[in-house]
């Protein structure tokens, strides 16, 4: 991993072009040659190359995290009522309020970000700033702080953001004092991070809200999912569509040169390189993520190629290792037990394959069906529901059903005792007992 | 599957509201109670409930498929140069041309769809209409036809679309005759399909371009990926952001009541129900997809929970079943062979776990490393590259490396003969031989 | 006049800059050094210098004249219902239709001009083109014709205008065939004129609709007034406000280099010079009109300085030259006749001054008041009403009133016989008779 | 005048509809039945009917007057560089800043009005408020004051205006503290006036900047002209075009129910009636002005009808009353003196008529030309220049020229002594002397 990143970093260091942000002197001081990349995996392993420990201000990269925080406070309906989720196709500082309601278009443009900051629950502006810093720290897995100089400069040049806040209060979409809210927003933007920090923060969204390094659940799966969705459509300003076309990952950039992307269920990545393109995104950051997406096949719409079958074997008339007398044997001969084995991860596609095999087996009207899922390595929440539905349907049709799964799965189910077992043989034995009971 | 869909259809049939499109009489004749749902899985299995075989006109649902066709003809760079990929945040018939270039915003709004139609390679308008019908048929897996009455009516009321075409020719983003191009577009919209057809068409995009029913490769993986990305950001008109937030699937709707969604790598789904909401999307279609996304956990940003380990076992000093003399045994004792076993699908996350284990093993400076991947069920293209890179790196560091994989994988590799084997024992044996050679 | 214009022409010939329109080859062929100025006065006198007889196509300068024609056909309410009168602050070819109605913003942008052309009453497109040419000829005072080459070229490059027409039919603000209407519009733009022609056309609007050269009433005063008002706010495209600020005259320019301005009640002026500025207005035309407005104090908002009094004399107890006996003399002594003389033009201001003097005289309760207006040179319609109202009020208060005016005015009034006279003495005599009757 | 206004007031009192502004409680308290009209003439005479002395806050009617003040401070070029003059076609509180410069569209929308307020020269905000109040008082001709309650309420609900100010400082088009500038603006809007005051203020603009009641020159003619031009195109918000079409007078309305209009060179009028239409203009105010414009023929584009000739007589060979000997007589016979008499006001049209007569006379090559302008009542600045030019041209061609004018004109000229005289005979005598000298 590290070599792969190192090779990428070395090659893209040669990429020149772009301008360091200069609207405040503190940002203009950044070294245009600084370049670092960091990745944090789902397992919490951390990889970094180059200037991944150089501190800079988080700026707009704070937006998705503060959105996740406000979304946790308000819930999805209320959040959507206050801040929209539509790509505005406009620049980051666009004036894009919905007619009549004054609702900002989305939380990734400044107006929406300021409104979002104001929605973070807190007793007063000081407490709000403290809470935001605390939660950003939870995402990062270490205690962060503010860059007071950058904060002071942002505040001194923040009239456009103040204008947005006054506009929103005039339109009724902001109730707090506009001056105080923008001040909190400037503090939020001035939180100091490194690429290594941002990679952990991005990974926390990519895992569904669980910081993979500290193990802390920072936000719920629902909040993480919605935050990633908003980043996917609104995160890259007016180039959101082309970004999703070419890179295919939820992402967010900041004017200080930070850029994060999240590969749901895979990892979080962060790049730090101050020179920005015309849209305000880090030039090397965009190049690095474009190449990584292609190299590792990370595009959200990319379809992985499955080369092996989910269903491994089907035994038409199985018997447990136990001995039976002839009467019982006759019963079991009349109502055979079909065993279907499966392997690998059960997501929608695999489950659908498995259940199609189950249905074919059930059509021959056996006495029982055993699913041997002991070689199955994962079951998604949706697929689990699909399996459950099929089991109930089979039982309605008079069949006996048992399932063998690995211990971690077994710990989670609470079906009728005995139906869920740890081995194929136990499952078959349980079915035999039921069929014999049925025969009375 | 079918029961699950049947339950959904029954429940949502009670959902009233919305208006059948009435801008032309032919559409107004549709029965507002018609309601059908169809799913086609990656394996080509087809499920359908309700009026899934009732014919209607494809209308705007044709847009992503004709986009895929033009994209195949032009390649991604040229296609993007001609038609953008940015969500316009506007209604389907918006006038949204890029200043200076006249490039339409994206292929899902009418202007972009008309420009896209004009880019389909053909000798003349008649041939273009024929080719479009032919390729839509390939997506559907059966021969489709036109609804001539709807075509005639669309043409009679098509002034706004003609205006868009004239505007584009004036702006230089369209070179063909505007009147003829819009005529072709009206024919494309009047292609007659059923929900069952649309499900196969959607599934063909979801599989990466391979029709799962007929087995025909209709477009490339790259074309399918990009088409899905454009559907994700631009497919639901001015509600694209909220759709991706709530449903999280690439989708496209048509004014006749059709609505498709694609779950990449899982399935294609289509709903037919004529009453439309204010944005022009099928009311029951939106409800059905929202519920399916939630029920089956299909949201693109949803993170599946992996419950079992990828790495199954690590043997610190493995030996093959073969006998060795003491001298050879001493050589092998000095340079032990470490075996690492893995199971399940190897996507980015699992591969990263596996390679982290490999790296830990390599740090103890053994003589060889054997990867036992015989329980591995799938390897993504990106992960395969990651594994290859690590193997080469280990060899550069003086270690011997062998890999045991299932036969389907073995058929695909063309590494040094012998290094790739079908069993763990063979791999260990191969390493023993190499280590003995090294020892001279 | 001619020397003054000649001096201006000579000086501004040195003004370079601007580009000859080149979107069609026929316009690009124009000689950038061609420069002519023409003025037509209210009395129909014509002044011209430079290339004032060089033919070119009228282009957008046709817009106000065709608007006047359609306005004559429809009347003001219906015309306003079909085409607005708001400055759009946009370029000439902007797409500026009112939401919901599709009504174009004003008749000076292309969309509004095309809609206006379609409103000209005619049996068919051919008749409409013929009628437009006929009425433009009436404005010009000579038979005009088309430049067929320019027409053909405009038609070949007219897609944007066709798009506007299709958009309007789609929106319901145009009912005719869009292709045919734009064709008529292209013919209208290709009418061939000279600066000398345009000066007569402009003068016809400036006189209130009467061609001052031919004496033909081309349109009504109401139509001319409204046409000038629309030119004032919408005639110079997106620079209308600054134009009215600096030049202060209704104006209209064309892409072939023509530019007209109207000074209501004074004259019409036309300039021909092909190089255009960024807004599409003739560079030398703008410069010439700016200077003329300033030099001759033509700004609509400029307040003329009146240096002499309106009221010339007041005679407290006037007598006619006739002899009266003592009894009668006593009657007249008791009810004296006050004469108030006035001079010059009676517009609002002068009339208000005059009537204030009348009011002061009436407060002394004389027997009669005589207005001697024989030195008055003009009376506006509004002021005439004001005078009438005061006369009636005086009579209601018991005073006798007579008015002496010059013969042209006398020919127009139809008051009680005798009260309106041609000399001061006759008026006084008439009052004496009435006062004696009253006493009698 | 008063009866005419009284009749109008009585009739329009029956006009209901519209809503009293209610965004702050102080405005909502206004009596919807209050209705007053006031006119101030060029001579400073004041007419008023109804509630013309009821105080209310000036609100947006302050905008043109403060614009005139800032324009006086900065001059026309700098003023235009800071605040545009284009109609924005938008509501009064639109966000309409020019891209790149941040320049507001015009001084009649709030953004432009706030920027204009900031341009009034003053040492600090307090001094600026004091100076604005002082100059508004000069326009009104009496000491005005603030309504402190309205001011406090406006300030409490002024977020949108603050937003505009912050936006402008962010864009670089405002340098002052946004909070302080909007405070000054709120004070300006809270100045208390009556309809009678506003009529004097409007009349001061209509006279060219001279308060006709107090005789104070408040602003220059240039400033008044430009202010009226901006009112004409931008004063009635998004209905500016239709207003100019129907009413044809520069005007400005305020949300408290005030509405002014200016008839240049004629009068200022003000209406007070609180109920507002959807555009925020006083319902009865609009109705009253529409009717007055029509009744008194005040439309700027209306062409007055001149019924008498400017040129009264032409004498082909004039002689003074003096005796000459035969030799001298022969000289004068050989070079006859032509006298041309004129009457009335000499504006552009009349002057052009006069000079055309002069030119015809000059073509017969006489010795001298005498212009007898003793019956002329006014000469505009432009026409004076035209006459001067012609005189010089005649002298260049060898003719002698003299002019007889009334004493007020004579006091203003500084030509060669003797050439300008008070009577026709003196002028002829002067020419005789010159012709004899020439022969001498």
Q: Give per-residue pLDDT as tens, C180-238.
A: 999 999 999 999 999 999 999 999 999 999 999 998 999 998 999 999 999 998 888 66
Domains of chain D: 2-295 (3.40.710.10), 311-433 (3.30.750.24)
Residue D251: strand, helix, or coil: strand
Instruction: State how far the Cα of D294 lies from the Cα of D61, in Å rounded to an integer.
Output: 23
How does residue D311 score in pLDDT terms, banded at 50, 70 and 90?
A: confident
What does the DSSP 8-state code read for residue A83?
S
Which chain B residue has the Cα nearest residue A241? Answer: B86
CA torsion angle B309 A201 A283 A117 (round to 10) = 150
Residue C147 near residue C57 (C-beta atoms within 8 A): yes
| Residue-averaged pLDDT of chain C | 89
Please state whether beta strands B46-50 and D368-379 pair in parallel, antiparallel, or not at all (unpaired). unpaired
Sheet holding C337-346, edge to edge: C311-315, C337-346, C368-379, C400-405, C420-421
Instruction: Quick: pLDDT tens for D98-127.
Output: 878 889 989 999 999 999 999 999 999 999
* Bridge partners, residue B436, by sequence: none
Which residues in D353-429 belong to E strands, given as ranges?
368-379, 400-405, 420-421
Strands B400-405, B368-379: parallel, antiparallel or unpaired by DSSP? parallel
- Which residues in chain B are contacts of C159 at CB distance < 8 A? 166-167, 169-170, 178
Give residue D307's pLDDT. Answer: 43
* C246: CB partners within 8 A, 6+ apart: C290, C293
Burial class of residue A16 (count of CB atoms within 10 Å of its CB; 0-12, 13-18, 19+): exposed
The span from the CA of D300 to the CA of C347, in Å, is: 13
User: Over 60: is that where the pLDDT of B306 sits?
Assistant: no
Q: How many residues does chain D have?
A: 440
Task: Name the CA dihedral angle for C162, C165, C166, C169, rounded to a multiple of 10 degrees.
Answer: -160
Length of chain A in residues, anyone? Answer: 440
For residue A307, the model assigns a pLDDT of: 43
Backbone φ and ψ for B157, nearest 5 degrees, come out as -115, 25
- Closest-CA distance, C157 to chain D, in angstroms, reads 30
B10 Cβ contact list (under 8 Å, min separation 6): none
- b or e along B4-18 (b: 16 or more beta carbons within 10 Å of the residue's beta carbon)? bbeebbeebeeeeeb
**For range C145-163, the mean pLDDT:** 94
Rounded alpha-carbon distances, angstroms, from residue D145 to D52, D57, D119, D153, D180: 17, 10, 21, 17, 20
Q: Which pLDDT does position D1 carry in this prediction?
A: 67
CB D89 within 8 A of CB D238: yes
Residue B23 to residues B150, B274, C46, C192, D436, Cα–Cα distance (Å): 11, 13, 57, 44, 93
- Do the Cβ atoms of A266 and B45 come within 8 Å? no
- Chain B residues whose CB is inside 8 A of the C95 CB are 95, 167
Pairing of strands B337-346, B368-379: parallel
Task: Give the pLDDT mean for C57-86.
Answer: 96
Contacts of D378 (CB under 8 A, 6+ apart): C304, C305, C306, C307, C308, C344, D345, D346, D347
Mean per-residue pLDDT, B103-131: 95
What is the distance between the alpha carbons of residues B376 and D188, in angstroms, rounded to a whole number? 79
pLDDT of D94: 67
Q: If 0-12 CB within 10 Å is exposed, 13-18 middle and 19+ buried, where does residue D186 land?
A: buried
Whether residue A302 and residue B87 make contact (CB cut-off 8 A), yes or no, is: no
Q: Check pLDDT > 50 for residue C121.
A: yes
- C420 HSE (CA, 13 A, CB side): 16
pLDDT in tens, B28-74: 999 999 999 999 988 788 999 999 999 999 999 999 999 999 999 99
Q: How many of the other CB atoms lie within 10 Å of CB of C205?
A: 30
Q: Are B and D close enough to touch, i.e. 3+ CB pairs under 8 angstroms?
A: no
Among candidates C245, C298, C343 on the partner chain, residue whose Cβ is nearest the Cβ of D229: C245
For C246-268, the pLDDT digits (tens) are 999 999 999 999 999 999 888 89
Task: Name the residue with higher pLDDT: C184 or D294.
Answer: C184
Instruction: State the Cα torsion C420-C423-C427-C429 to the nearest 10°.
Output: -140
Bigger pLDDT: C300 or B270?
Answer: B270
Query: pLDDT at residue D305 above 60?
Result: no
- Residue A140: the pLDDT is 98
In this structure, the number of other CB atoms found within 10 A of the CB of residue C77 comes to 8
Q: Say whether the C–A interface has 3 or more Cβ pairs within 8 Å.
A: no
Q: Which residues of chain A have pLDDT under 50?
A: 306-307
Please say whether the beta carbons of D110 and D168 come within 8 A.
no
For the cut 50, the answer to whether the pLDDT of residue D78 exceeds it is: yes
Mean pLDDT over the full length of chain D:
89
| Smallest CA–CA distance from C299 into chain D, residue | D225
| pLDDT for residue C90 | 61
Chain C residue at shortest CA distance from B175: C159
For residue C170, list chain B residues with Cβ-Cβ distance below 8 A: 159-160, 163
CA-nearest residue to A234 within chain B is: B241
Residue B149 backbone class (left: φ over 0; alpha: ψ -120 to 50; beta: rest): alpha
Task: Tell me the sheet residues that pair with B19.
Answer: B276
- Give the pTM: 0.81
- The tokens for A94 are 């666009």
Tokens in use for D224? 């008044």
Instruction: List the structure tokens of B64.
Output: 């992503």
> Which chains does chain A touch, 3 or more C-beta pairs < 8 A?
B, D
Number of CB atoms found within 10 A of residue C125's CB: 18
The region that residue B180 occupies, defined by phi over 0 for left and psi between -120 and 50 for alpha, beta otherwise, is: alpha
- The H-assigned helical ranges of A147-220 are 148-156, 159-171, 178-189, 195-206
* Average pLDDT, integer, range B282-286: 95
CB atoms within 10 A of CB D167: 25
- Please indicate whether, in this complex, the C-beta atoms of C389 and D228 are within 8 angstroms of each other: no
Contact C166 B163 (CB under 8 A): yes
Please state whether at least 3 CB pairs lie below 8 Å between chains C and D. Answer: yes
Question: With an 8 Å Cβ cutoff, are B169 and C178 in contact?
Answer: no
Sheet holding B368-379, edge to edge: B311-315, B337-346, B368-379, B400-405, B420-421
Residue D336 DSSP one-character state: P
Picking from C387, C382, C396, the residue whose alpha carbon sits closest to that of residue C340 is: C387
Q: Report CB contact under 8 Å: B352, A381.
A: no
Distance between CA B395 and CA B404 in Å, rounded? 17
pLDDT at D92 > cutoff 70? no
Bin B411: left if φ > 0, else alpha if -120 < ψ < 50, else beta.
alpha
Report the residue from C43, C87, C242 with minimal CB separation from D353.
C43
In terms of pLDDT, which residue wins out, D414 or C56? Answer: C56
Q: What is the pLDDT of residues C13-38, one digit of tens each?
A: 999 999 999 888 889 999 999 999 99
Residues B326-365 have pLDDT tens digits of 988 898 888 999 999 888 777 776 787 788 889 888 888 8
3-state secondary structure of A208: coil
Question: Which of B107, A356, B302, B191 minimizes the C-alpha distance to B201?
Answer: B191
Q: Which segment of A197-206, B311-320, D92-101 scores lowest on mean pLDDT?
A: D92-101
In the structure, what pLDDT confidence band is assigned to residue D241 with cuts at 50, 70 and 90?
confident
Mean pLDDT, rounded, for B220-233: 93
Q: Strand B251-253 to strand D400-405: parallel, antiparallel, or no bridges (unpaired)?
A: unpaired
pLDDT of residue C307: 44
């Amino acid at each position: 991993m590290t070599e792969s990143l190192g090779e990428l970093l070395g090659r893209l260091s040669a990429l020149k072009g772009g301008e360091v942000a200069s609207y405040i002197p503190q940002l203009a001081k950044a070294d245009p040659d600084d370049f670092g990349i960091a990745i944090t995996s789902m397992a919490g392993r951390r990889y970094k190359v180059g200037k991944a420990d150089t501190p800079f201000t988080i700026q707009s990269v704070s937006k998705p995290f503060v959105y996740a925080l406000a979304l946790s406070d308000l819930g999805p309906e209320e959040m959507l009522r206050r801040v929209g989720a539509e790509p505005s196709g406009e620049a980051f500082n666009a004036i894009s309020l919905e007619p009549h309601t004054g609702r900002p278009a989305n939380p990734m443009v400044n107006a929406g970000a300021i409104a979002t900051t104001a929605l973070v629950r807190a007793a007063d502006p000081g407490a709000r700033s403290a809470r935001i810093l605390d939660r950003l720290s939870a995402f990062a897995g270490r205690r962060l702080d503010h860059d007071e100089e950058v904060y002071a400069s942002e505040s001194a040049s923040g009239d456009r953001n103040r204008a947005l806040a006054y506009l929103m209060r005039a339109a009724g979409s902001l109730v707090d004092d506009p001056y105080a809210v923008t001040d909190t927003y400037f503090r939020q933007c001035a939180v100091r991070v490194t690429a290594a920090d941002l990679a952990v923060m991005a990974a926390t969204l990519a895992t569904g809200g669980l910081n993979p390094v500290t193990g802390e659940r920072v936000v719920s799966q629902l909040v993480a999912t919605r935050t990633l969705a908003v980043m996917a459509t609104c995160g890259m300003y007016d180039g959101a569509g082309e970004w999703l076309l070419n890179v295919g990952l939820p992402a967010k950039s900041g004017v200080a040169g930070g850029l994060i992307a999240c590969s749901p269920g895979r990892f979080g990545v962060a790049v730090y390189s101050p020179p920005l393109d015309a849209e305000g995104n880090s030039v090397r950051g965009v190049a690095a993520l474009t190449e990584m997406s292609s190299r590792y096949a990370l595009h959200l719409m990319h379809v992985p190629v499955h080369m092996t079958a989910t269903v491994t074997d089907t035994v038409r008339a199985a018997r447990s290792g136990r001995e039976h007398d002839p009467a019982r044997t006759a019963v079991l001969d009349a109502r055979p037990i079909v065993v279907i084995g499966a392997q690998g991860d059960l997501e929608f596609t695999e489950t659908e394959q498995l259940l199609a095999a189950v249905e074919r087996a059930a059509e021959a009207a056996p006495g029982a069906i055993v699913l041997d899922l002991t070689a199955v390595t994962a079951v998604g929440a949706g697929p689990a529901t699909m399996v459950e539905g099929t089991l109930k349907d089979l039982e309605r049709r008079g069949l006996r059903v048992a399932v063998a799964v690995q211990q971690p799965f077994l710990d989670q189910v609470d079906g009728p005792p005995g139906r869920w077992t740890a081995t194929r043989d136990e499952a078959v034995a349980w079915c035999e007992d039921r069929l014999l009971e049925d025969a009375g």
